[in-house]
Amino acid sequence: MTRPKYAITRYTTANRINHWINAGLFVLLLLSGLSMFHPMLFFLSGLFGGGQWARAAHPWFGVFFMLSWIGMIIQFWRVNLPAREDIAWSKAIVQVVTNDDEHVPPIGRNNSGQKAVFWAMTLLIPVLFLTGLLIWEVYFGEATSIGVQRVAVLIHSLAAIAAILVWVAHVYAAIWIRNSVRSMTQGYVTPGWAWHHHRKWFWDLASGQRDKTTPRKHP
Protein backbone atom coordinates (compact mmCIF):
# COMPACT_ATOMS: atom_id res chain seq x y z
CA MET A 1 0.00 0.00 0.00
CA THR A 2 1.41 3.40 -0.92
CA ARG A 3 1.56 5.85 1.91
CA PRO A 4 2.82 9.39 2.29
CA LYS A 5 6.27 9.70 3.76
CA TYR A 6 5.31 10.51 7.31
CA ALA A 7 2.20 8.38 7.60
CA ILE A 8 1.25 7.31 11.11
CA THR A 9 -0.34 3.90 11.50
CA ARG A 10 -3.63 4.27 13.33
CA TYR A 11 -5.20 0.88 12.68
CA THR A 12 -3.23 -2.28 12.01
CA THR A 13 -4.17 -4.74 9.30
CA ALA A 14 -5.73 -7.02 11.95
CA ASN A 15 -7.69 -4.07 13.36
CA ARG A 16 -9.03 -3.24 9.93
CA ILE A 17 -9.97 -6.75 8.87
CA ASN A 18 -11.79 -7.27 12.16
CA HIS A 19 -13.52 -3.90 11.89
CA TRP A 20 -14.81 -4.48 8.37
CA ILE A 21 -16.04 -7.99 9.12
CA ASN A 22 -17.93 -6.35 11.94
CA ALA A 23 -19.24 -3.59 9.73
CA GLY A 24 -20.46 -6.01 7.08
CA LEU A 25 -22.21 -8.22 9.62
CA PHE A 26 -23.76 -5.21 11.33
CA VAL A 27 -25.25 -4.00 8.06
CA LEU A 28 -26.58 -7.48 7.27
CA LEU A 29 -28.06 -7.72 10.77
CA LEU A 30 -29.58 -4.26 10.50
CA LEU A 31 -31.23 -4.96 7.14
CA SER A 32 -32.54 -8.41 8.02
CA GLY A 33 -33.53 -7.34 11.53
CA LEU A 34 -35.42 -4.23 10.47
CA SER A 35 -37.27 -6.28 7.85
CA MET A 36 -38.80 -8.27 10.71
CA PHE A 37 -39.39 -5.19 12.86
CA HIS A 38 -41.51 -2.79 10.86
CA PRO A 39 -43.96 -3.72 8.08
CA MET A 40 -42.79 -0.80 5.94
CA LEU A 41 -39.31 -2.31 5.96
CA PHE A 42 -40.35 -5.90 5.20
CA PHE A 43 -39.19 -5.37 1.61
CA LEU A 44 -35.61 -5.47 2.93
CA SER A 45 -36.08 -9.22 3.40
CA GLY A 46 -35.99 -9.44 -0.41
CA LEU A 47 -32.26 -8.68 -0.22
CA PHE A 48 -31.83 -12.01 1.53
CA GLY A 49 -34.03 -14.05 -0.80
CA GLY A 50 -37.31 -13.48 1.03
CA GLY A 51 -38.77 -13.48 4.52
CA GLN A 52 -37.92 -17.09 5.33
CA TRP A 53 -34.28 -16.53 4.34
CA ALA A 54 -34.00 -13.29 6.28
CA ARG A 55 -35.46 -15.04 9.33
CA ALA A 56 -33.12 -18.01 8.94
CA ALA A 57 -29.97 -15.99 8.23
CA HIS A 58 -30.33 -13.24 10.83
CA PRO A 59 -29.38 -15.33 13.90
CA TRP A 60 -26.34 -16.78 12.14
CA PHE A 61 -25.15 -13.28 11.24
CA GLY A 62 -25.61 -12.55 14.94
CA VAL A 63 -23.47 -15.48 16.08
CA PHE A 64 -20.60 -14.43 13.82
CA PHE A 65 -21.06 -10.81 14.83
CA MET A 66 -20.71 -11.74 18.50
CA LEU A 67 -17.48 -13.63 17.73
CA SER A 68 -16.18 -10.75 15.64
CA TRP A 69 -16.99 -8.28 18.39
CA ILE A 70 -15.02 -10.32 20.90
CA GLY A 71 -12.08 -9.74 18.57
CA MET A 72 -12.81 -6.02 18.68
CA ILE A 73 -12.92 -6.07 22.47
CA ILE A 74 -9.56 -7.84 22.64
CA GLN A 75 -7.97 -5.36 20.25
CA PHE A 76 -9.54 -2.13 21.44
CA TRP A 77 -10.49 -2.34 25.12
CA ARG A 78 -7.22 -0.82 26.31
CA VAL A 79 -7.34 2.28 24.11
CA ASN A 80 -10.91 2.90 25.22
CA LEU A 81 -10.28 2.95 28.95
CA PRO A 82 -11.54 6.18 30.51
CA ALA A 83 -8.97 8.91 31.08
CA ARG A 84 -9.06 12.15 33.04
CA GLU A 85 -9.02 14.22 29.83
CA ASP A 86 -12.39 12.71 28.82
CA ILE A 87 -14.23 14.95 31.27
CA ALA A 88 -12.86 18.18 29.84
CA TRP A 89 -13.46 16.96 26.29
CA SER A 90 -17.05 15.97 27.08
CA LYS A 91 -17.72 19.37 28.61
CA ALA A 92 -16.59 20.95 25.36
CA ILE A 93 -19.03 18.86 23.29
CA VAL A 94 -20.68 21.99 21.84
CA GLN A 95 -17.30 23.15 20.53
CA VAL A 96 -16.68 19.65 19.18
CA VAL A 97 -19.88 19.44 17.14
CA THR A 98 -19.50 22.99 15.82
CA ASN A 99 -15.93 22.33 14.56
CA ASP A 100 -14.61 24.95 17.01
CA ASP A 101 -11.52 22.81 17.56
CA GLU A 102 -9.43 25.70 18.96
CA HIS A 103 -11.50 25.41 22.11
CA VAL A 104 -11.52 21.64 22.39
CA PRO A 105 -9.09 20.29 24.98
CA PRO A 106 -6.31 18.00 23.65
CA ILE A 107 -7.01 14.30 23.88
CA GLY A 108 -5.23 11.01 23.46
CA ARG A 109 -5.69 8.27 20.94
CA ASN A 110 -9.49 8.13 21.34
CA ASN A 111 -11.86 10.84 22.48
CA SER A 112 -14.72 10.08 24.84
CA GLY A 113 -17.22 9.99 21.95
CA GLN A 114 -15.26 7.17 20.37
CA LYS A 115 -14.98 5.46 23.73
CA ALA A 116 -18.71 5.80 24.25
CA VAL A 117 -19.36 4.09 20.90
CA PHE A 118 -17.04 1.23 21.88
CA TRP A 119 -18.50 0.68 25.34
CA ALA A 120 -22.11 1.10 24.20
CA MET A 121 -21.58 -1.60 21.59
CA THR A 122 -19.70 -3.78 24.06
CA LEU A 123 -22.76 -3.62 26.31
CA LEU A 124 -25.43 -3.90 23.61
CA ILE A 125 -23.98 -6.67 21.46
CA PRO A 126 -23.92 -9.33 24.22
CA VAL A 127 -27.45 -8.28 25.21
CA LEU A 128 -28.55 -8.68 21.60
CA PHE A 129 -26.75 -12.02 21.35
CA LEU A 130 -28.28 -13.50 24.51
CA THR A 131 -31.82 -12.25 23.93
CA GLY A 132 -31.45 -13.32 20.31
CA LEU A 133 -30.67 -16.88 21.38
CA LEU A 134 -33.85 -16.96 23.48
CA ILE A 135 -36.00 -16.03 20.46
CA TRP A 136 -34.11 -18.23 17.97
CA GLU A 137 -37.18 -20.29 17.19
CA VAL A 138 -35.42 -23.03 15.22
CA TYR A 139 -33.08 -24.12 18.02
CA PHE A 140 -34.33 -22.52 21.23
CA GLY A 141 -38.07 -22.17 20.61
CA GLU A 142 -38.85 -24.67 23.35
CA ALA A 143 -35.94 -23.86 25.66
CA THR A 144 -37.73 -21.11 27.57
CA SER A 145 -41.28 -20.14 28.40
CA ILE A 146 -43.33 -17.87 26.14
CA GLY A 147 -43.27 -15.21 28.88
CA VAL A 148 -39.47 -15.15 28.85
CA GLN A 149 -39.45 -14.96 25.05
CA ARG A 150 -41.83 -12.00 25.07
CA VAL A 151 -39.51 -10.05 27.35
CA ALA A 152 -36.48 -11.19 25.33
CA VAL A 153 -37.94 -9.97 22.04
CA LEU A 154 -38.76 -6.59 23.59
CA ILE A 155 -35.25 -6.17 25.01
CA HIS A 156 -33.79 -7.37 21.71
CA SER A 157 -35.73 -4.70 19.81
CA LEU A 158 -34.81 -1.90 22.21
CA ALA A 159 -31.14 -2.89 22.26
CA ALA A 160 -31.12 -3.12 18.46
CA ILE A 161 -32.59 0.37 18.13
CA ALA A 162 -30.00 1.73 20.56
CA ALA A 163 -27.21 -0.04 18.64
CA ILE A 164 -28.46 1.37 15.33
CA LEU A 165 -28.52 4.90 16.76
CA VAL A 166 -24.97 4.45 18.04
CA TRP A 167 -24.00 3.11 14.61
CA VAL A 168 -25.54 6.11 12.82
CA ALA A 169 -23.53 8.42 15.07
CA HIS A 170 -20.38 6.35 14.45
CA VAL A 171 -20.78 6.35 10.66
CA TYR A 172 -21.60 10.03 10.51
CA ALA A 173 -18.65 10.96 12.72
CA ALA A 174 -16.36 9.00 10.42
CA ILE A 175 -17.68 10.95 7.42
CA TRP A 176 -17.67 14.27 9.24
CA ILE A 177 -14.09 14.05 10.56
CA ARG A 178 -12.34 13.93 7.19
CA ASN A 179 -9.78 11.19 6.56
CA SER A 180 -11.04 9.03 9.43
CA VAL A 181 -12.40 6.57 6.91
CA ARG A 182 -8.98 6.29 5.30
CA SER A 183 -7.50 5.43 8.68
CA MET A 184 -9.83 2.44 8.82
CA THR A 185 -9.45 1.46 5.14
CA GLN A 186 -5.75 2.09 4.52
CA GLY A 187 -4.71 2.24 8.14
CA TYR A 188 -2.83 5.53 8.32
CA VAL A 189 -3.29 9.17 9.21
CA THR A 190 -1.02 12.09 8.47
CA PRO A 191 0.90 13.80 11.30
CA GLY A 192 -1.29 16.88 10.81
CA TRP A 193 -4.41 14.78 11.36
CA ALA A 194 -3.05 13.34 14.60
CA TRP A 195 -1.93 16.83 15.59
CA HIS A 196 -5.34 18.32 14.92
CA HIS A 197 -7.62 15.66 16.36
CA HIS A 198 -5.61 13.68 18.93
CA ARG A 199 -2.81 15.91 20.06
CA LYS A 200 -1.83 13.99 23.19
CA TRP A 201 -1.58 10.85 21.11
CA PHE A 202 0.54 12.79 18.62
CA TRP A 203 2.97 13.90 21.33
CA ASP A 204 3.12 10.39 22.72
CA LEU A 205 4.24 9.20 19.32
CA ALA A 206 6.53 12.17 18.68
CA SER A 207 8.28 11.88 22.00
CA GLY A 208 8.92 8.23 21.37
CA GLN A 209 6.77 7.01 24.22
CA ARG A 210 5.75 4.00 22.29
CA ASP A 211 2.17 3.18 23.12
CA LYS A 212 2.07 -0.61 23.32
CA THR A 213 -1.27 -0.79 21.56
CA THR A 214 -0.26 1.57 18.79
CA PRO A 215 2.12 -0.03 16.33
CA ARG A 216 3.50 2.68 14.15
CA LYS A 217 6.18 3.73 11.77
CA HIS A 218 8.62 6.21 13.14
CA PRO A 219 8.16 9.41 11.19
Partner 1 sequence: MSDLQSQDYVRRSASTMTPPVARSHEDQVAKLIDVSRCIGCKACQSACMEWNDLRPEIGHFEGSYENPMDLGPSVWTLMKFAEYENEQGNLEWLIRKDGCMHCEDPGCLKACPAPGAIVQYANGIVDFISDKCIGCGYCVKGCPFDVPRISKKDHKSYKCTLCSDRVSVGLEPACVKACPTGAIMFGSKSDMTHWAGERIEDLKSRGFENAGLYDPKEVGGTHVMYVLHHADKPSLYSGLPDKPRISPVVEAWKGIIKPLAVAGIAFAAIAGFFHWITVGPNEITEEDEEEAARALRGEREPDPEEKS
Whole-angstrom distance, CA of residue 159 vs CA of residue 156:
5
Indicate whether 54 belongs to the interface with partner 1 (CB under 8 A): yes
Which is catalytic among the residues 19, 58, 156, 170?
Answer: 170
Q: Does 119 bind partner 1 (CB under 8 A)?
A: no
Q: How far is CA 116 from CA 25, 84, 146, 150, 188, in A?
A: 21, 15, 34, 29, 23
Query: In one letter, which amino acid is 154?
Result: L
Least separation in angstroms between residue 201's CB and partner 1 is 8
Q: Of 57, 92, 127, 158, which one interacts with partner 1 (CB under 8 A)?
A: 158
H helix or E strand, kind and range, residue 125? helix 112-134
Q: How far apart are CA 70 and CA 200, in angstroms?
A: 28
Nearer to partner 1 (CB atom), residue 105 or residue 126: 105
Q: Which helix (H) or strand (E) holds 9?
A: strand 8-9
Which of 208, 190, 206 lies closest to 4, judged by CA? 190
43 burial type by CB count under 10 A (0-12 exposed, 13-18 middle, 19+ buried): exposed
Report in angstroms how near the CB of residue 78 gets to partner 1 at its nearest.
14
Is 156 tagged catalytic? no
Could you say whether residue 213 binds partner 1 (CB under 8 A)? no
By CB under 8 A, residue 153 contacts partner 1: yes
**Contact flag: residue 60 with partner 1 (CB under 8 A):** no
Positions in the binding site for partner 1 (CB under 8 A): 6, 35-42, 45, 50-52, 54-56, 83, 85, 97-99, 101, 105-106, 108, 135, 137-138, 141, 146-147, 149-151, 153-154, 157-158, 161, 164-165, 168-169, 172, 175-179, 190-197, 199-204, 206-207, 219
